[in-house]
Structure 1
C-alpha cells in the first residue's frame, strides 16, 4: 500500500495558514493589502481582544460579484496575476491567492462585498474552512471582511501568541506602515471600541508621518527622482533628526513599492549615511519609501512577504547612502540660516562691543586675549611640524576658597560676565545672535528674536576640529608635534604585524614612527592636537583598534581613522569647566558659522538646542504674556 498521499484541501490550507497567519497582525496585513489592491481610498480597521476575538476591515474598493466572492476562498485563486511572465514584475501587494483560504481555515470568517456596478451585495460565511452560508445582502459598495475566533480550531497555535498588549501593538504597526506607504488613502483603527488612529484621506507624506510618529520637529527630506544611471529607482520619505530617534513611536519604516519590509541592507545604508550624527546606541528613525521597477526586485522570497531581494543591492545601497548624506547636509544649510544671519559689522567690531559690555565680577581676573584655538593649545600652521614658540601664560594661584573641586584638562582664567549696568542697551550681537553669556562653564547662551538658544561649547568645538582634521588627513597634511626626545616602544607579534600593514596610514594621521630593530619602534612625532597625551599608550590603543577591526583593508582604515579623528577632536576640544573669554565665545560662533557641519559632534550629540519664547514663558506659567 502506497505510503505517499495527497493532503486534503482543508489540511493544505491549515499548513499554509502556518506560514501566512503568524498572529492577528498577519491577518490585518493581508486584508489591508487586498483593500489597497482593490483601489480603496478609505480603509477602516477594528479589532477586539487583541484581534483574536474579532478583526474587521472595511473598504470602499471595487468590491466583488457573487462568483468572485466564492472563488476568492479557493487556494491560489487571484485576480492579480494571470501568467508566468508577471511573476518577474509583481506590481500588486497580494498575488499568491493563499491569504483568504488560509485565514478561513483557522477562524470564522465572513465576507460581505458589493461590486461598484451592482445594487446589492453578497454575504459568505466560512467556519474553519467549511462553507456555512451564501446569500444576497444589501450593503455599501466595497468589501467588509470579518475574522472571528482566530485559531479557534487549533488551540496549540493560540498558546504561542504573546500578551494582548503585544499583539495589539503589532496590529497598530501594520496599519501605521500602510498609512505611511499610502498617504493618499484614509486609514482608521479602533481597538476595543476606542479610536487609536485616524488618518484622513488625501494627506501628504510629511503630514501623515508627523501624525504617526507624534513628532513636530524638523525632518530630513529624502529626495531622489532618478538620474541617467539610476532612473529605475526613486527615493522619498523623511527621517527624524538623529537625536529624536528615542521617540517611542519612532523607528525606521522601510517601504518598497508600497510594501512594508524588513531589510538590513537598507537600514545599514541609512545608518551609514547618518554616520557622525547618530549617538552610540541610537538607530535611525523615519520612513524610507523606495520606488523601483518591479522587475528589479523579488518580493516572493518570504512566506509573509516581509523580506525582498534586489537584483543590484549595491546600487540601492550606494544610492540610499548618498541621498541620506545629502539630506543631512541640506539640514546643515537650513540650520545655519536659522541660527546665523549675515553680520552687519566685522568680527573685530563685534568683539570690541562685547568686551565693552561684558565686565568681570572680579576686576583682577582678566580673560585671555587670544584666539580660541590658541587658548586650547591648538596651533594653526602651514607646515606639518609644530614647534612651540611661547610658554602659556602663568595663572595666579587660586586661594583656598577659590580653588575648584575639579581641575579641567585645560586651565583658563575664571571670568564671570554680566551686562554693564547702563541705562542704554548696548549691541552685543554676532551674525544675528545676541550673546547673553556662559552657563555652567559649558553652555553658551544666546538670544535671537523670540528664540532662546543654548550651545554646547565642547560639542561645537569638537565638530569644528574634527572637520579640520578630516580635511587635513585627506590632504595628508595633519600638523605634527615633534617630540624633543623620541620615545621607543616594544611591540608584540600582533601589533608588529598591524604596524607593518598600516604604517603608511599612521604616517598620514600624523604619527611618525620608524623601525629600530627586533621588536622596537621609535615614535618621533605625534598629531599636534593630542601632543599632551602619552604617545606609547596612544599608539597601543590605535594598534588595538586596527587589529580588532574586521573587513577589507580599505574599510578598516576608513572606519578606524574616522574614529581616531573623532577621538582626537574630543580630547583637543574645549571642555566642560573651561570658562571662555568674550573673544573666545565670539570666535567659536564664527567658526560654527563657517563650518560645513556644525549641528552634531562627531559622536552624534547635538550642538544646539533652541527654545521658543512661548516655551520659556510656559515654564513660568506666563501664558499669553
Structure 2
C-alpha cells in the first residue's frame, strides 16, 4: 500500500532531542522519530529531516563526481582489506559497468548489510582514531553513496565460511540478500551509474576522457602498492597489467612509458619523515603540465605545497616552461597530516607544512648533487674526482650567519671555483684579470680578496699536432691560428698569443682530450665514455653563479671600486626599490648611495661583472626586485645572481685558447653543480659510441 520505502513518524513530546529509530515491518521500512521538545510540533515547520535516500544522493554528489570516483573508492576499500590482487573491469566509460574484484578479507552477511548504512565503517571507532588515520578509507560514505545513484551488487565471502553473501541494491533500495558460492574476497558491480539522476550524467565528459581518468586512478594505486597485482580491462580488452613481481621503478617506467634512466631520490635516515621516489632527468622533461605522482602514506594526493617543494629542489635545473616529472612517496607520522579535509580525500593538510617543505626540497637538492657526482665519473673519469663538499641550501639556516665548510686542500679551490683562465699574481685589492682579444675583449673575473681560496692551476700546453691542409671553416682546432667568427667579440690572435707564458704547473682535474671548438661556442672533447660536447657559455655561467651564491651566503661577495663613480636617475618606484632592498643590494656587491631626490651614485659593483655597464647592471637588479612576486627569498636572489652570472660569463662567439678551455674543464670537474646553467639549460651532452654507430649503421 505504501511501497517499500514508506515512513511512519511518531512524535513523543517528553524527550530531549530528535532521535530516529528504524524498524522493518515486512516489506516496509519504518522510521520512528522521538522528538525532544516539550512544545507541540507544528506540521508546517520549515526545518525538516531529509529522507535517508535523498541524503545519500546528496553525499554522492560530493563523493561520486564521475566513474573514476567510484573506482577510487572501491579500490581503496580493496587495499584496506589486504588484497594483493585487484581486477577492475569497465564498460561504456564506467557508466554502463564498473566491476572491482579483490581477494581481500571479505565480509559476512552482517557486515555487508552494515556497509550499506551511512557512516558504517570498520576503520575508525572513536575521536582519537580520527587524529591518526592509517587507512585509505574511513568515513563509511562510499558504498551507500554509490548505491543511491546506481544498480549495485555486492558479493563477498570470508575465509572461514564455505558460502558467501550477495546483496543487490537498486538506486538505494535493498532488493535481494541471499547466500551464494563465490571466491574469497569481495566483488562489487556498479551498473547504470547516474541512471536515476540524468542531470548528473549529462555533465560527464566523453567516454575516452572518463576512461583516461579511470586509468589514472588505477595507475596511481598500482604505484602506491607494489605488493599487489593490478589488472584493468576496458570493454573486454586488457588495458593495464602490473604484476606484483615488478619493482616500483619498473612500474613507473611502464606507466610513464619512459625508456631512460630515472634519478633516484631517497632521504637520509634518522628522521620520522622519509621520502623516496624517482625523478625524470631535467633535460628529458618535456614542456607541458606537470607529470608528478605524489603519495603520502600510500595515498595518492594533489598538494600544491608538495609540488612547490619539488620545484624548489630542482631550481636551476629546469628551464622556464618545464615542470618536474616523476614519482615521490612521502612517509610521515599519521598525526602530522590531516586527510579529512576533502570529501574525495584527494587533498591533505600538513601540521608542520614549512618543515615538510624544507625536508622535501633539501632531499631533492641532495639527490641532484649526488647525480652530479655520477656525471663526473662518466665524463671526467673516476680517478680524477675530488671530495665533494656540502651544497648550500636556501632557507636551511639563516643566511645572515651562514658559515660553510671549505676544502682544506687549496689546490681543490672553492666548490664553485672561479672560471678565470690565465691566472695573475695575487695582489691586495680585487681586480679584473685576463684579456681575451683586443680592445673589446671579454674578461673573466677572479676573486682577489683575502680569503684562502687559491686559483685553480692551468695545465701545461698540449703539444701542437699536425692539421690537415683544408678544414671546414665552422670547425677549427684550438691549436691553429684562430680568426674571429662573424659577430665574435675577440680580435685576431696568433697561436703564440693564445698559449700561456710561462706555463703554470698543476694537476689536471678532468680527464678529457680536447678536439676543438665549433662556432666559438661548443667545445668538443674525447672522454672516457664517448664524445662530449660542452656549451662554453652555459658551463661558465653555472660556475660563476655557484661562486656568487656561495660568496653571498658567506657575506663576502667581492666588489670592484669604480675609478669614476656613475650617477643614475631613477623613477620614484625604482628609488623606493633601491631603498627598500638596500641591504640585499649591498650584499650582492654594490656600493650605492643617495645623492638627492631620485638620484643615486654607484661607486662599486660586483667584481664578477666588472666588464658590464654599472648602470645597466644596477637597473637590471632593480627590475628583478620589482618584478618578482616575492620581495625576498632564495628564488629571487637566485634569479638576480643567475642574471649577473649570465652577463659576466664568456659569450658565444668568443674564441678560447687551449689553456682557457683546459681551465674551464678543470673548474667543471671540481665543481659540485655543473650539468645545467642557472636557467636550466644543459651544459653538456655525451654521445656514446654505440649511439654513434647506429647513426652510420655499424651495429
- Whether the 8 Å CA contact 2:67–2:214 is kept in 1: the answer is yes
- Whether the 8 Å CA contact 2:380–2:527 is kept in 1: the answer is no
* Partner of residue 577, structure 1: 653
Q: Which has the higher helix share?
A: 1
| Cα shift readout 1:220-242 (whole Å, capped 9, x = no counterpart) | 33323653xxx332222222222
* Partner of residue 348, structure 1: none
1:446 to 517, 525, 542: 525
* Partner of residue 336, structure 1: 376
Distance 2:341 2:384 in 1: 61
Deviation at 1:388, TM superposition (A): 6.7
1:221 to 253, 259, 264: 264
Distance 1:128 1:548 in 2: 56
2:132 matches 1:89: yes
| Cα shift readout 1:398-427 (whole Å, capped 9, x = no counterpart) | xxx999885135557699xxxxxxxxxxxx
| Cα shift readout 1:348-386 (whole Å, capped 9, x = no counterpart) | xxxxxxxxxxxxxxxxxxxxxxx97358xx989665542
2:96 matches 1:53: yes
1:261 to 296, 301, 322: 301
Structure 1 consecutive aligned stretches of length 4 or more whose deviation exceeds 6 Å:
247-250, 378-382, 388-391, 401-405
2:343 matches 1:300: no
Distance 1:333 1:342 in 2: 9
Distance 2:110 2:697 in 1: 66
With over 3 angstroms needed to count, the CA separation of the structure-2 counterparts of 1:8 and 1:394, relative to structure 1, is closer
- Report the TM-score when normalising by structure 2: 0.76
| Cα shift readout 1:276-321 (whole Å, capped 9, x = no counterpart) | 1121122222222111222222111111111111222122112112
- Whether the 8 Å CA contact 2:318–2:680 is kept in 1: the answer is yes
Deviation at 1:540, TM superposition (A): 2.1
With over 3 angstroms needed to count, the CA separation of the structure-2 counterparts of 1:463 and 1:387, relative to structure 1, is closer
Name the SS for the 1:222 alignment partner: strand
Distance 1:97 1:386 in 2: 72
Distance 2:494 2:97 in 1: 68
Deviation at 1:41, TM superposition (A): 0.7
Distance 1:380 1:136 in 2: 94
Deviation at 1:87, TM superposition (A): 1.2
After the TM superposition, which of the residue ranges 568-577 and 443-452 deviates more from structure 2?
443-452
2:416 matches 1:373: no
- Whether the 8 Å CA contact 2:419–2:544 is kept in 1: the answer is no
Name the SS for the 2:217 alignment partner: helix
Distance 2:435 2:630 in 1: 45
* Partner of residue 550, structure 2: 471
- Whether the 8 Å CA contact 2:421–2:660 is kept in 1: the answer is no
With over 3 angstroms needed to count, the CA separation of the structure-2 counterparts of 1:618 and 1:374, relative to structure 1, is closer
* Partner of residue 545, structure 1: 624
- Whether the 8 Å CA contact 2:275–2:328 is kept in 1: the answer is yes
- CA RMSD in angstroms, aligned pairs only: 3.0
With over 3 angstroms needed to count, the CA separation of the structure-2 counterparts of 1:519 and 1:250, relative to structure 1, is closer
* Partner of residue 321, structure 1: 361
Name the SS for the 1:112 alignment partner: strand
With over 3 angstroms needed to count, the CA separation of the structure-2 counterparts of 1:6 and 1:609, relative to structure 1, is same
Q: How many residues align?
A: 573
2:315 matches 1:278: no
Structure 1 or 2, whichever has the larger Rg, is 2
Deviation at 1:14, TM superposition (A): 0.5
Deviation at 1:248, TM superposition (A): 7.8
Distance 2:686 2:435 in 1: 40
Deviation at 1:591, TM superposition (A): 1.2
- Whether the 8 Å CA contact 1:52–1:149 is kept in 2: the answer is yes
* Partner of residue 635, structure 2: 559
Distance 2:234 2:427 in 1: 67
- Whether the 8 Å CA contact 1:412–1:580 is kept in 2: the answer is no
Distance 1:406 1:389 in 2: 23
* Partner of residue 66, structure 2: 23
Structure 2: give runs of 5+ residues left out of the alignment: 1-43, 386-417, 442-472, 475-482, 496-507
